[in-house]
Every structure is written in structure tokens, then in C-alpha cells.
Amino acid sequence: MSILIRKAIIVDPDSPFHRSAKDIFIQDGIIRKIADEITDPADQLIEQEFLHLSPGWVDIFTHCCDPGYEYRETLETGARAAAKGGFTHIFVVPNTRPVVHDKSMVTYIAEKQVSVPVSLHPLGAITRDAQGKELAEMYDMYAGGAIAFSDGWNPIQSAGLMIKALQYIKTFDGIILQIPDDKSIAPQGLMNEGVISTRLGLPGKPAMAEELMVARDIKLARYTGSRLHFTGVTTAKSLEYIRRAKASGIDITCSVTPQHMYFTDTDLQGYDTNLKTELPIRGKEDAEALKNAVLDGTVDCISSHHHPLAWDQKVCEFEYAKPGMTGLQTLFGAAGALEIPTETIIRNISLNPRKIFRLPAASIVEGEIADITLFQPETRYSIEQKDLVSKSINTPFLGKTLTGKVLGIIHKNKILLQF
């Protein structure tokens, strides 16, 4: 199959064609030519106003619920949502039934590659059943294709166990992803602790629960000399700790979500259960600190934390609603609506994740495999329920005006367009 893309602005700081408008000719999944004008005949012509492209996007924390919770999402529907959101690679959270804690479960996810439009990368559980009690066979999972290790929505609470995990992965230079949350602090908390939680009469979760975990794990990473990634950071103080750790040479990276930059706890005054998340939506100062940390490079990645939930897990009293929201299809548009520059977004959802987690490079240069996302960064639109392809619709972005529209992906020698 051959594809000709006309007059696309290339967004790829690692490419000599960065910021230039070029024709791109792709044949058999390889970028064959990049020039001002290409006249070669092609099976597929792509030509759109304000067309941009970049190396394919990567989401490092996606819950596909498969196996065990297929009524919420499957690997197939999650992959379709990822493709529609512009992602060509997603890291699959291990909190399934059974948990992805051995090589056979890693293989189960890897074997789904053939039938879906994106690349699935299993996150192997750090502990058996993601219960935080005994280490899982991480080396076997690594040999079977696990991209990194995480207990997903169940962060490791024991410092002693976390040290063992960090030492274990060092033998093969692995990396651990940790949601920073000390669950022993205000375990009954339903939202950010502050004036709004008091006004609403809801028990709060203090920022300290996150910040203590960040401080602890930084010390453990320094002690072991291992690689650690914090995902879903929400507070200014956590970012300060991470900034200092990086400056001192500790191998720490971090990611934030668009929802924690876009919304604040004042948005929960309508008791919208879609805004109930694992790490709570914080106040305005923290939201601004997250955005500034993306702009200054403290934050390495932007992640969706895509967490599909069934209708009856959200349409209920706030107290009983499960935490989580979907996010694959809204990530790019939400980041654009925050006026984060396009090049910065691409660094955080393509270039940086590839470098941190050592995925193959996908630069827009001749001879490279075509792993490409097509988009219009300035297009404004409102997201509607009919646009969502995930099995679940638990998103607070419905009806919101987003900036930045995905037009399609080219991946695995296939093209998936949506215009």
C-alpha cells in the first residue's frame, strides 16, 4: 500500500523537517520520500487544510479492563478509542481479572496486537494480584514483553516492598510506574480536602497523602539507584520535590493528566461523579502549577489515565460512585484548550514517552517506519456522546469546547482516517 500526504506541517523536533510543510510518500509502511512536492502515484491521497503530523502518540496509563471487566471496556474497544484519540501505542494497566502478574497474562495482551489498530504494551504488576504483599515474577514478564511495572490503581504502600521492587528491576534496567497516594491517610476521602469539600459536606483527601508518597519514593529511588516514574501527579509541592530530585541526579520522571489541569475542585460543586478520580481534582493553584510544570519541562509526559466505568458505577450518589474517567479521545483537545503549545504537547505524548520507556524511535525522516498521527491543532469542537467509541462514557468533557482535532493515524502499515 502507498500513501501520499500533501503539504503537512511536520511537528517533530528530532526531524530536520521540523516545522516545515512537506509532501510525504509512504510505501509498504516505510517513509520513502519527503519533499516540497511529490508526484508519485499512490493508493491513498491525504490532503486537508491546516494538516499537521507527528510521530505516533503514546499513552502510558490506559485501563482496558480486559480480561474480567469486558462490560466496561475490551482491548478492542480501548484500542479503537486510542486510535480515535491519535494514539498508536498504549500501555495497558494490569488491574484486570486475573491481574497481569505473570508471563501468560502478558502474552494474552501481546497476542491481541494482530487484531487492533494500535500497539498494546502490557504493564506487568509489581506484586501478585496487585495486592502489595509479595513480588510478582517481573523478570519473566519483562522477558515476555512487559514494557514496565506498576500495580496500577493500587500504589505500593510498603516502603520495604518498594525497595525490593526497585532493586529487582535494576537487574534488567526496568522502570516502575507509581501513582503517588498514601492510602492510610484519609482513606474515606472523596475529593480534595479544602474549602469546597467542607462546603459540600464531603470528606476530603489532603494533598499530604500524595506528597508523602512522592517524598518517600524519591528517597527509595535514590537509595536503590533505580528508575521510577510518578504518574498522575496533582500538587505543586509534589512537583517541587520531583524538580529537586531531578536536579540532584535521581532517575525520576513524572506525568500529569489533562483533567487535573483543566478542572479544579470548584467544578465538583454540582456533584458530577465523572470528576471523582483516584487522585482528586485539586484547587486552582495546583492546576496552574501542573500546567506551568508542563511548560517548563519538569513534567515529562501527559497521560490519559483512561479508566472506563459502567453506567451504574457513576450514576449514583457521589459517595458510592467509583473513581475514574475515560480520557483517550479527549487528551489532545483538552491540552490544546489549556493553550499548551502544540510542540510541547507532542513532546509529552510522543517523544518523551518513547525515550523514557525505550520504545523504537519514530522520527519523520526518510527510511523510518511510518508511525504517524495526523491532526489539526487549531480546530475547535465540542465533544459529544456519539463521538465516543469506548464502551463507557464516564467523561466530564462532554459538551466542553476542546482545541485540537485528530484526523487519523498511520501505523502497522495501515491507515485509519476520521474525516
**380, pLDDT greater than 90:** yes
Please return the burial class of 285, using the count of CB atoms within 10 Å of its CB with bins 0-12, 13-18 and 19+. Answer: exposed
Same domain, 91 and 174: yes
Same domain, 118 and 44: no
Q: What is the pLDDT of residue 390?
A: 96
Same domain, 127 and 257: yes
C-alpha cell, 168: 529487582
**419, pLDDT greater than 90:** no
Which residues does 114 contact at the CB level (< 8 Å), separation at least 6?
A: none
Q: In the predicted model, what is the mean pLDDT of residues 324-352?
A: 98
Same domain, 173 and 321: yes
Same domain, 47 and 164: no
Span 118-149, pLDDT tens digits:
999 999 999 999 999 999 999 999 999 999 99
- Run of H or E residues at 95: none
Q: Yes or no: say if 55 and 38 are a contact pair by the CB < 8 Å rule.
A: no
Residue 128 domain-assigned? yes
Residue 86 domain-assigned? yes
Residue 361 domain-assigned? no
**How confident is residue 45, by pLDDT bands cut at 50, 70 and 90?**
very high
Predicted TM-score of the model (pTM): 0.97
Q: In the predicted model, what is the mean pLDDT of residues 278-283?
A: 97
Q: Which residues are 416's β-sheet partners?
A: 409
Q: What is the pLDDT of residue 9?
A: 98
Same domain, 178 and 307: yes
Same domain, 75 and 147: yes
Q: What is the pLDDT of residue 285?
A: 98
**How confident is residue 281, by pLDDT bands cut at 50, 70 and 90?**
very high
CA–CA gap between residue 287 and residue 292 (Å, rounded): 9
Q: How many residues appear in the chain? A: 419
**CATH code of the domain containing 147:** 3.20.20.140
Instruction: Give the angle 266-272-273 at the CA atoms, nearest 5°.
Output: 125
**216, pLDDT greater than 90:** yes
Span 18-32, pLDDT tens digits:
999 999 999 999 999
Same domain, 62 and 98: yes
CA–CA gap between residue 394 and residue 403 (Å, rounded): 20
**361, pLDDT greater than 90:** no
Same domain, 319 and 371: no
**How confident is residue 113, by pLDDT bands cut at 50, 70 and 90?**
confident
Same domain, 144 and 185: yes
Query: What does residue 332 show for φ and ψ, rounded to 5 degrees?
Result: -65, -45
Same domain, 193 and 269: yes
Residue 212 domain-assigned? yes
**245, pLDDT greater than 90:** yes
CA–CA gap between residue 310 and residue 71 (Å, rounded): 7
- Mean pLDDT across the chain, nearest whole number? 97
Q: Count of domains in the chain?
A: 2
Residue 228 domain-assigned? yes
Same domain, 299 and 162: yes
CA torsion, ordered 19, 21, 22, 28, to nearest 10 deg: 70
CA–CA gap between residue 77 and residue 90 (Å, rounded): 13
Q: What is the pLDDT of residue 391?
A: 95
Give the residue numbers spanning the domain of 332. 56-356
